Structure 1
Amino acid sequence: MLDENQGAIELANEELDMVAGGFNFFFAATFFEQSDRVILQNTQSGPSGSSTSSLIATRDIRTFAIQGLFLGDTPSQFGQSS
C-alpha cells in the first residue's frame, strides 16, 4: 500500500511501558474417573443345611486438578524498577 508509514517511529518512555513486555497464559487440567465394582456370592448346600449370601459394592472416585500460570507484564506494574 502506498499510504503506509515505512519510517521508524520514536516512542516516549510511557508509550514503551505500554507496549513492552508480553503476556503468556498456561492452563492445564486433569480428568475425572469413577470405577464401580460389585461382588456377589451365594453358597447353598445339602439336605438340612448351609446357606451363605454376600454382596459387596465399592466405588472409587478420582477428581481433577486445575493449574493456571500467568507470565509477563512490565516490572513497573509489579512495583519494581526496571
Structure 2
Amino acid sequence: MPDVKVKTIKGFNNGGAYVKRHQEITVDELRARDLLRNGLIEEYDVKQASEPENKKAPEPANKGGKPAAAKQSKE
C-alpha cells in the first residue's frame, strides 16, 4: 500500500511517538483509514492508478473454421 501524507486534527500516539495536532505525518493507507475513522486526521487524497488499456489481440485472418460455401445444408 502506498504511503500517504496526512494532517492531524488531534494529538495521538502513533507507533510509540506522540504526534501533536496540526502536524503532517506520513502513514500507510491502512493506518490512514483507521485514523480517519477515529477522527484523528483530516480527509486525504489517494492517487488512483490509471485504468489499464484493453489490449485485445487483433482478430486473426484465418479463424480455422470451414469456409462459408462448405457450411450450406445439403437438400
Which TM-score band (shorter chain)? Answer: under 0.3
> Comparing both structures, which one devotes a greater share of its residues to strand?
1
TM-score (norm 1): 0.25
Larger Rg: 1
Q: Which has the higher contact order (CA 8 A, sep 6+)?
A: 1
